Amino acid sequence: MNGVHVRLRMGRERYAMPIENVLEVAELGSLAALPGAGAAVLGVRNLRGQVLPVFDLARVLAIGGDAAPPRVVVAEHAGRLAGLAVDEVTDVVALAGTPEQTEAEYLSGAFLEDGQLVGILDVERLFGSLAAQAA
């Protein structure tokens, strides 16, 4: 579980995603609505000729949020792409220490850093949920 991670912020919450699942970080850009999609689906956007579904990661994780976040993390898992809207990408770092186990649905672990809890996203479970929400 250690390794290089992209650290994300949504509101006051902090998360980390393995760098091997992150293709790029971009501005949210303009989105086209996706009628009948789940509440966490912000829409779809054209990313260099490819249709990319964009999800509000705060809603997926049930941590709330007032407005659409300004950034999108383009993530990949098992050949599938998704845009994850976040407030900020704070940095890219190697995680130090051993993360604690957690029973949170979309987390593979968590650790304390400077007194703040950072959840490590379980990309496989997260993508499973995104597929269900987009349908």
3-state secondary structure the chain: CCCEEEEEEECCEEEEEEHHHEEEEEECCCCECCCCCCCCEEEEEEECCEEEEEEEHHHHCCCCCCCCCCEEEEEEECCEEEEEEECEEEEEEECCCCCECCCCCCEEEEEEECCEEEEEECHHHHHHHHHHHHC
Q: What is the pLDDT of residue 36?
A: 87
Listed by start position, the domains of the chain span: 4-134
> Which top CATH class is 4-134?
mainly beta
User: Does the model's pTM come out above 0.95?
Assistant: no
Q: What is the pLDDT of residue 55?
A: 95
pLDDT along the chain (135 residues), means of 10: 88 95 94 89 92 94 81 96 96 88 93 90 94 74
